Structure 1
């Protein structure tokens, strides 16, 4: 894994939603991608070191139904808009990771028909699974990666990696790394053997859904034993790779909606930024936005909203993110360090990662944890 990822903290943005692009594909080119540029200083102010972008390539609707991986979606602009974003980000020290949807494509995919199977992805009739057993598909995907890394991207988030045979990536990534040795590759894994998949595929990292679930679920149930169990699993993963950690993304209800007690928002964020991993902040979470994902057509709209042309006044949740990210940057050893649980009850815990100690109290009364009194429903960095 490239060394720069030890300091990476991503601002995760879904561009089609962020820029207010239409839901359906258009042929007319509208330069909406440039609407991200006035927000780059905001990302730096937040403490992030890069943008993790959702799909930006030509697609039929939501971007995960790609039709041409070599073309910017006309709803977002063109290659000049991409080049401008890369340059503006580079001037601020921000890297860009792209979302590569290489498990499936849209029905109107522009590539060869023989690249496609006759299978729809997870019952979505408009999403056709690529034939990963074909060497030509490996070459195609490697060519796409090479093209955009050559234009300035720093890495790839590989959508639905869990559905792609690990040996497919093992065939693609070495040839891409030969040309771009400093690139980073993270796969979307929801369940399964994370460490085993990383070893077999050659990926640098995968998304840590186990920890994501444990963070909000343990707080809602006031059962910190669930968090401790997940952290023990997390520690084990670190023997193989550094997971990509998050408290929200484009596919799940927002953290502020998930949490049943708003007093525990700080607890969730404190956990995210004081345990090992390569963390991301999903755009809007840093302002405490709410949004419920629903299993229906258009059910993602609430969690993929349009943003204004320029940032407004920073709120208290933004400042909390700033504080926690700043603390993490002062303790760089956290990124790969195991978390030790020094004290644990259902409602209280003391977690030590490298030289950072986090005390959690979910109780209705003040509790003394490791000799420090922590107020009701509060947390403390020691």
Structure 2
């Protein structure tokens, strides 16, 4: 009897011992898929003094090709070949001699049959941009989480306000009803920083959703439930830098894992140096290798182990969360050759996918440099499909604020920037927007003029490209203190229990806000089926006396857009538009349903308003 008890106790201790070791060993990525086009997989293993342990596995179709040791004794990198692998689980062991020190059960999952052919966001979509901490608090239980440094402080404009993934899920019906078909959510990965962690741009774990936002499973649920409503999920990613509290920082794998490792230097933000034929090498290096701030260590993507890690992490999230797109933060700041390889690898796995890069420049030539298909003088090749069209955004706000008194004022700013589209390899695939989370809200930029805000939205929803709308624009949200990000990213009314105003239901909105919301909803839902503004040919006429006119045409589908800034009645002469209006007798305003007779010489325009006519 005692012998049986001892054997039972010994078995129990062995199991507990194995479980303890399993918990101490970090393996990333934690699981993978069969059926990927690239059959190579690199595992990062992290645990105490594992460098001199011998890894092994015994799984048909899985070959351990290389074991890479680095300076830190606590890492091993394993290169696996999965060419003949089948879905299933196998045991990865780390041994010292004949003794097993670590065991890890690794899983290879079956890749969904349609995964590789997934369609990313296109010009047929409209993207709704959300800052998750400021949209809706669906689960107050995760407002404060043990182990997370920063807790809830809704009274602090730069603090955490409690918005989360559950809050977004709870309001997917609103997003769908408004007419949005894609959802870009600012970063949700763990950001365990001491302060200002709400924005998400200082990642501390690339494989875990921040528990104050929810969990990995909740993020997948968001993707699934959005997809059921015809909404694609666009993930916000950051490959340039991490947060200073990232777990790597306590034990960096190599001496060159970071740029200026141990010798902090700030980036000069001279993005032009990348393309400048006269730029000093010093300026190029400082732009890409310098840090934003000391709390954002800059990653060295020239390190091949780190580069592979980041590429695999991207593929993992696309596959795991069934993503419909990626928005890449600070696109020109990482190593340019790495970004070329990163986009190549992603687009190889998902040929119909879409990625939009952030390059904050008002110079179209700088933006165009990074787009796939662009023939660059220096030979640089990019595989990035889309970019944020900052030049057009800047021209739009300038055009709307400027008067029409001069030969090159007002709408001419916008007209002139669109005229530079010859610089782009694919201008139809640029993301157009009136504002975003990093700039004053469009209603603020336009001095709280609702009519001008409608003109701005009418433009981005009918011009070439893929429109993006920031949450709250539909209800004229604004920021009193210009340039203050904490106020720009203010709470969406109705997202918190006890809110007196609820934009989801309309309760408490002013008449002007309600009108703007209905205007946006009407235009968005019309756009869903307006093929001409998705991919139709764009023909614009030089603005004249405060009126900007352009056409979108795709076969028999024709739309005439008239943007009128005049505050007094204006008669638009139609003669010069004859090439587009041949055999067209009428146009119906998509916003009011009013019919305009186009066979006459003039039409009366609504004052300081857009007129969007479906031509018949």
TM, length-normalised to structure 1? 0.90
1:158 aligns with 2:328: yes
Identify the residue that residue 146 of structure 1 maps to in structure 2.
315
Between 101-110 and 190-199, the greater mean CA deviation after superposition: 190-199
Identify the residue that residue 519 of structure 2 maps to in structure 1.
320
1:175 alignment partner, one of 328, 342, 345: 345
Distance change >3 Å, CA 164–CA 303, structure 1 → 2:
same
Q: Deviation of residue 73 (structure 1)?
A: 0.9
5+ residue gaps, structure 1, are none
Identify the residue that residue 42 of structure 1 maps to in structure 2.
174
Q: Deviation of residue 86 (structure 1)?
A: 1.7
Contact 1:252 1:293 in 2 (8 A): no
Contact 1:11 1:283 in 2 (8 A): yes
Q: Deviation of residue 170 (structure 1)?
A: 1.6
1:132 alignment partner, one of 297, 301, 305: 301
Identify the residue that residue 188 of structure 1 maps to in structure 2.
358
Question: Which is richer in helix?
Answer: 1
Q: Secondary structure at the match of 2:259?
A: strand
Q: Secondary structure at the match of 1:65?
A: coil
Distance change >3 Å, CA 346–CA 110, structure 1 → 2:
farther
Identify the residue that residue 371 of structure 2 maps to in structure 1.
198
For 1:282 and 1:238, how far apart are their aligned partners in 2? Answer: 26
- Listed as ranges, the matches of 1:25-64 within 5 Å are 27=147, 32-59=164-191, 60=193, 61=197, 62-64=199-201
Contact 1:159 1:188 in 2 (8 A): yes
Q: Deviation of residue 3 (structure 1)?
A: 6.8
1:105 aligns with 2:286: no
Alignment RMSD, CA only?
A: 2.7
Distance change >3 Å, CA 36–CA 137, structure 1 → 2:
same
Identify the residue that residue 65 of structure 1 maps to in structure 2.
202
Identify the residue that residue 472 of structure 2 maps to in structure 1.
284
For 1:326 and 1:32, how far apart are their aligned partners in 2? Answer: 27
Q: Secondary structure at the match of 1:161?
A: coil
Identify the residue that residue 5 of structure 1 maps to in structure 2.
122
Contact 1:71 1:79 in 2 (8 A): yes
Q: Secondary structure at the match of 1:201?
A: coil
Q: Deviation of residue 4 (structure 1)?
A: 5.4
**Per-residue CA shift, 1:202-242, capped at 9, x if unaligned?**
11100011111111210110311111112212465364651
Q: Secondary structure at the match of 1:249?
A: coil
Contact 1:224 1:346 in 2 (8 A): no
**Per-residue CA shift, 1:286-343, capped at 9, x if unaligned?**
1111125645xxx211121233158222822121112222332232232344532225
Q: Deviation of residue 110 (structure 1)?
A: 2.3
Q: Secondary structure at the match of 2:296?
A: strand
For 1:246 and 1:207, how far apart are their aligned partners in 2? Answer: 8
1:360 aligns with 2:563: yes
For 2:490 and 2:210, how far apart are their aligned partners in 1? Answer: 18
Identify the residue that residue 349 of structure 1 maps to in structure 2.
548
5+ residue gaps, structure 2, are 1-117, 152-161, 270-291, 373-380, 404-409, 497-501, 508-513, 575-601
Q: Secondary structure at the match of 1:149?
A: helix
1:303 aligns with 2:488: yes
Identify the residue that residue 228 of structure 1 maps to in structure 2.
415
Q: Secondary structure at the match of 1:291?
A: coil
For 1:322 and 1:375, how far apart are their aligned partners in 2? Answer: 20
For 1:148 and 1:26, how far apart are their aligned partners in 2? Answer: 25
Distance change >3 Å, CA 155–CA 108, structure 1 → 2:
same
Point out which structure has higher relative CO (alpha carbons under 8 A, 6+ apart).
Answer: 1
Corresponding residue pairs, total: 379
Distance change >3 Å, CA 31–CA 320, structure 1 → 2:
closer
Contact 1:211 1:234 in 2 (8 A): no
Identify the residue that residue 237 of structure 1 maps to in structure 2.
424
Q: Deviation of residue 76 (structure 1)?
A: 0.7
Contact 1:120 1:127 in 2 (8 A): no
Q: Deviation of residue 186 (structure 1)?
A: 0.8
Q: Deviation of residue 52 (structure 1)?
A: 0.5
For 2:402 and 2:427, how far apart are their aligned partners in 1? Answer: 31
Q: Secondary structure at the match of 2:415?
A: helix
Q: Deviation of residue 107 (structure 1)?
A: 1.2
Distance change >3 Å, CA 346–CA 126, structure 1 → 2:
farther
Distance change >3 Å, CA 104–CA 120, structure 1 → 2:
farther
Determine which structure has more spread, i.e. the larger CA radius of gyration: 2
Identify the residue that residue 216 of structure 1 maps to in structure 2.
397
Contact 1:247 1:281 in 2 (8 A): yes
Q: Secondary structure at the match of 1:318?
A: helix
For 2:525 and 2:427, how far apart are their aligned partners in 1? Answer: 27
Q: Deviation of residue 72 (structure 1)?
A: 0.5
**Per-residue CA shift, 1:45-72, capped at 9, x if unaligned?**
1111121110100112131111111110
Between 267-276 and 331-340, the greater mean CA deviation after superposition: 331-340
Contact 1:254 1:292 in 2 (8 A): no
Q: Secondary structure at the match of 2:123?
A: helix
TM, length-normalised to structure 2? 0.57
1:377 aligns with 2:608: yes
2:451 alignment partner, one of 263, 267, 270: 263
Contact 1:31 1:78 in 2 (8 A): no
Q: Secondary structure at the match of 1:271?
A: helix
1:330 aligns with 2:516: no
